[in-house]
Amino acid sequence: MKKFRFLILPAILFISACGWFKSPPEIGKVLSEHFKNKIYKDFDTTVYDSIFVHTLDSLDKDFINPKTIKSFYSNHYSEPHLVTEFYINGSLDSLVSYLENSTIHGFNPKIFKTAEIKALLATLTANRFKKVEQTYPVIAKLEALSANAYLNYNNFLRFGVVNPHNIFSRYYIKVKRPDSTGMINLLSSENMVDTLRNIQPKSEQYQALQKAFLKASSESEKRILLLNMERFRWRMPETGDNYVMVNIPDFRLTWLNKKDTVITMKVCVGGKRENGYEEKLKAFAKSGNLDDKPKNHETPLLFSKINAIQANPIWNIPVSIAQSEIYWMARKDPYYLSNSNINVYYKDKLIGEPDTINWSRYSRDKLPFKFKQGSGGGNALGKFKFIFDNSSSIYLHDTNNKNGFNLTNRAISHGCVRIEKPLEFAEKLLNDNYAYDKLRVEVDMLPVDTTHMNWYRKRMAKKADTLKVFQLKPAWFGPKKAVPLLITYYTAWAQNDKIEYRPDVYGMDEKLWAMIKKYK
């Protein structure tokens, strides 16, 4: 008997300490005073709890975050917090207004169950209940649907509808996504209207696209605007006011300092993956034959910081390029490697005469060699390589093929970004006349400051000395401060008071539309 008493005492204390179990509970007091209706004084929390749990279970299949919602109400004893706090002051009506007006963001109010919430509010407001038990299913469903709509509307506007990492294989930008703690805090908020007002996107780009979206008559134009509105909803890393952006569909690099353009130039980016890439990749996975492997040179989307410049760079040729191109060129022309200034390494040791290698003895999918192209005019990276940390071995670089910048579609590289004005870009990065002149001399250019001419003369003398072999080597330079770099993908954006549109070069709009159209 003593053991039983020890078990029941904490339960009694717990119940008595919880305001939800007081008679009448807060919801009963609030509705009783508002409607001047005595039935609410008989509000039975035990009966309501059972109905609310059943209501949640019946609705959660349509909820995006059912576990979070259930966790919140489990920790709050199933109390109808939103109805208690936000029905009388009209905040739930404001929620409905925002949901109905969600079309300005490209959403269909139906996805939030807006009509059902509005009808439940009307039923509760009509106050035609004869018994308090009749109010339980109405309050329970109103609470559950309002919680779900409130969360979804907030998450869609603050973080975007889609997580780009789930649909794009080469999307390496860390975007912030909703978490359970933030959503529970949202449900616990004390001012719903302020929250709804504050989450409206405030970026100039978003608002310009939104304005154009509301004016557009063409469905295809609306679709492009909507997709890019979604991209601007994604919570990107903080770039600060001074950063470099490469927009792949625009084939352009732009350095921005606040609203000013420091420098802008054309770029060449990675080529689009083969048509039918996904199916071909499955075939390759089965066969293991490199002839079945589809090409994918798309430049990844990423965020990093440019921290170094390499003048006269060495190109460490990726395995994929060695297998698909270098191997075949070497088999076709035994002098290709030496003529292209490409060194061959076996077990990290330089092979003195690569032209003597019998390439037919080696399978290209198991090449035991590494390839590096030395510094010089013929180097595929040109005279400059701009380095930033990333997992894809991607960098910005010069090129010895300048004709590519004359093309309309400049998706032609193996994945790295070729930039049109590497020298000017290096000058802006260094932001130091002394270092800039050092860099110029390293690539055999006259210094800007004539007091540095002795550097140039010494270098030219070394190159002209026939008694000593001059070996061109990479030289490293660092900006005073690393500059943020964002490689991104926008097919529509605002510029000079109008909307610019670009082709969907990688087909990313198509993939994003497949995910987002169900919310329209």
Give the active site residues: 397, 416
Q: Is 281 exposed, middle or buried (0-12, 13-18, 19+ CB in 10 A)?
A: middle
Residue 487 · residue 299 · CB < 8 Å: yes
How far does Cα 59 stand from its chain's mean position? 31
* 73: phi then psi, degrees, rounded to nearest 5: -75, -25
| Chain position carrying tokens 């009963």 | 28
Measured between alpha carbons, how far is 28 from 33 in angstroms, rounded to an integer?
8
Instruction: Characterize the bridge pairing of strands 302-311 and 475-477.
Output: antiparallel
* Count of beta carbons in the 10 Å neighbourhood of residue 308: 16
| Chain position carrying tokens 């449900």 | 187
Instruction: Characterize the bridge pairing of strands 252-257 and 260-270.
Output: antiparallel
Measured between alpha carbons, how far is 192 from 150 in angstroms, rounded to an integer?
9
Residue 43 · residue 25 · CB < 8 Å: yes
| Residue (of 206, 233, 159, 191) closest to 94 by Cα position | 191
CB-based contacts of 363: which residues, under 8 Å, 6+ apart?
Answer: none
Residue 468, SS3 per DSSP: coil
| Residue (of 93, 89, 84) closest to 122 by Cα position | 93
Residue 437 · residue 452 · CB < 8 Å: yes
Residue 270, SS3 per DSSP: strand
List the structure tokens of 33.
């005073």
Length of the chain: 520
Alpha-helical regions (H) of 408-517: 422-430, 433-442, 453-464, 508-516
Measured between alpha carbons, how far is 520 from 239 in angstroms, rounded to an integer?
31
How far does Cα 54 stand from its chain's mean position? 38
Task: Indicate if the alpha-carbon torsion angle 305, 308, 309, 314 is positive or negative.
Answer: negative
